Amino acid sequence: MTLPPVSVNAFGQFTTGSRAEDSTFLLVMGLVFPPPGVQVGLGFALRRLGGVVGVGHAVDRVALARVVLNGTAGDLLFPPDTATAEQRVPAVLAVFPRSRGRNVIGPMFEATWGHALVSAKLAALIELPDPVRLSVIGSLSVLIPEQAPIVELRAEFLGQFDPVQPSMMITAALTGSRIAGVRLSGEVCLLTRGGRDAAFVLSAGGFHPQFPVPVGVPELRRVAMNLSPSPLMTFRCQAYLALTTNTVQFGARIDFQAQIARCGLSGHLALDVLAQWRPHLAFTAQLHAGVSVRVLGKSLMGVHLDLLLEGPTPWHARGRGSIDLFLFSVSFDFDTTWGSAPPLPQDPVDIGALLTDELEQPRAWATHPPDPALSPVVLTPEANRLLGDGKLVHPQGTMTVRQQIVPLRTEIERFGRESVPPQMWDISAVTLGNGDSDLPTIEVKDRFAPGQFKSLAEDEQLSGGAYRDYPSGRRLTASQLNAPDGKEDELTVEASTLGGALGPDLRVDALHVMVVKIPLVLAKAAEVAAALRADHERWWWRPNGRVTVHTAQPVRPVEAWSLAPLSDGHAGLMMDAMPFHGAVTGTSAPRPGSPVRTIVEAWEVED
């Protein structure tokens, strides 16, 4: 709809149900100002203004992160035209699915700075009622200069804030960005989470290939640059950097290729480094390099090298290299150690005591609530706070116990780079506070470096990765917890009749009135108020003491001009000439020399 000089775009969906509370609607609306927009000062201009309103809808955070990572977040809420808006409706409904009892509301705007040198689209989405969640979605565009940009940066971003857990996650993706013609891409994620399952993750471009992606973090693409100078030559660079509570990770990869008529040169160089400091400092670096000459699609010659470096105390390097020729191939392996090993302890390490101490720590236990969209139960703010602190377990949630001392159900031969007697540990049973024991559980796995716990053969060292999945704990789910049986109860409604002169009884059903019959109740209430007596006990609060109401109001004769009390003589004349009843007032013809008189209520006269 166009209302010069502005235009309005709106789209959404209204769904009816068998009951009024089952009906839902979702509306996305935007107001577009003509160029250059509404100037707000300091070079900023407001181009679009809008909002999202959803009753019976929630925010799907996984779908919201997906539209950010694929580069469609900017156009999701601010479609450029009506045709595009119609195409976006399914995507919007996927981001805001129906959810009974949940509501979504939030403003949206698009602003520019420096005549579209910098442009930003932003929407703040609030989920209500409790638990309240906040999601911020938008896009940012930077063009330098504006007409023929040399620097063109376009980013989609998403911020998710959950005060119940509590947690904050910010994700951003570069889409369609260029610097001097060089294409840029990649994704960044920041996650901070409190409670018993506390975590901190900052990653630009992803993680080490052997590192498990933390729960809640989406898969991130490498930060990449395409430096290809011509169609005949490809030169691409990728990199990543990640920080977690226990690791530092970084790496890069360069791929190049020059080829004409299926003949040319190709190669690659890759480096992956992972450092962790618990349970002790460990450093692992992997290097992969190779170059080959190809003729008519066949490899004529090539050189390849794989190297793994571990340390410190001592440093250990092992790897394999090969030289491939058209007629034959030569390979060589190496495995060398240098540096002094740490001194051996006098007594073997008591792994059982370390495990017992670790499992008794609060950080080893974590509770996780279910997805609010799948749970019909709405908890109180106090219950949500206790869940976030890990003091209670949601009846439909999960409880996990895990440790990272040693792998479970795995034979341990080394610990802390020291030889120990062969042994194996496991959690044999889980006992709850109510006395239930030997409950069924689900195995939980984490990443461990096998070289720190096992004496690996040479082929196992070269063929296996630096980290592997091993059992680390147990998880109890809602179906496995011995929760008390649910109790059934009948909902009783207290009803009363408001007067008998109105014909049929008017019965008040609180839920029905609040949700469905509000207009009817307002009309009936006005009718009842007009029909009932003024002293009806339903409308008036009465104190403990009794109040007596006189049938006749007390009045006083006064001078009509000054309202001053008359003398006794004049008063007698007034009373003889003008008898009164109730609250009736009047005047009589004055006698010569007497003042003009009238009768008023006694409270108006000052004695």
Name the band, by pLDDT with cuts 50, 70 and 90, for residue 572. very low
- pLDDT tops 80 at residue 433: no
Of 329-338, 485-494, 589-598, minimum mean pLDDT range: 589-598
Cβ–Cβ < 8 Å for 22, 100: yes
pLDDT of residue 251: 94
- Taking CB atoms within 8 Å and a gap of at least 24, the contacts of 273-276 are 273/208, 273/249, 274/208, 274/210, 274/211, 274/247, 274/248, 274/249, 274/466, 274/467, 275/247, 275/248, 275/249, 276/246, 276/247, 276/248
Average pLDDT rounded to a whole number, residues 436-455: 78
The neighbour count for residue 566, using CB atoms within 10 Å, is 19
Q: Which of 200-209, 351-360, 450-459, 572-581 has the lowest mean pLDDT?
A: 572-581
For 278, phi then psi, to 5°, come to -130, 140
pLDDT in tens, 64-94: 887 777 767 666 666 555 556 566 777 788 8
How many C-beta atoms lie closer than 10 Å to residue 255's C-beta? Answer: 14
% of the chain with per-residue pLDDT over 90: 9
Residues 165-194: tens digit of each pLDDT: 788 888 888 887 888 778 888 989 998 887
Percent share of the chain, pLDDT over 70? 72
**pLDDT attached to residue 179:** 82
- Residue 110 region, left (φ>0) first, then alpha (ψ -120 to 50), else beta? beta
Sheet holding 442-448, edge to edge: 365-368, 398-402, 468-476, 442-448
Residue whose tokens read 């992969």: 288
User: 512-547, pLDDT tens digit by residue?
Assistant: 444 445 556 566 665 555 555 555 555 555 555 555
Closest CA relative to residue 172, chosen from 161, 182, 185: 185
Are residues 221 and 204 in contact, defined by beta-carbon separation less than 8 angstroms?
A: no
**Degrees, nearest 5: CA angle 14-68-194:** 100
Nearest to 59 by CA among 170, 140, 137, 164: 137
Q: Which residues contact 176 (CB under 8 A, 6 or more apart)?
A: 71, 152, 154
Q: Is the pLDDT of residue 225 over 70?
A: yes
In angstroms, rounded to a whole number, what is the distance separating the alpha carbons of residues 220 and 213? 10
Given a cut of 60, whether residue 345 has pLDDT beyond it is: no
- Residue 607: how many CB atoms within 10 A of its CB? 6
The whole-number pLDDT of residue 575 equals 40
Q: Could you tell me if 420 and 351 are in contact, meaning their C-beta atoms sit under 8 angstroms apart? A: yes
Strand partners, 48: 32, 110
Q: How many residues does the chain have?
A: 607
Count other C-beta atoms under 10 Å from residue 104's C-beta. 22
pLDDT of 480:
47
Q: What amino acid is encoded at 198 in this protein?
A: A
Q: Which pLDDT does position 271 carry in this prediction?
A: 94
The closest of 183, 297, 188 to 240, measured between CA atoms, is 188
Q: Are 190 and 205 in contact (CB under 8 A)?
A: no
425 and 355 Cβ atoms separated by less than 8 Å: yes
CB-neighbour burial class of residue 253 (10 A; exposed 0-12, middle 13-18, buried 19+): middle
Token reading at 363: 């950080």
Beta-strand runs (E) in 210-349: 223-226, 233-244, 247-260, 263-276, 282-295, 298-311, 315-325, 329-338
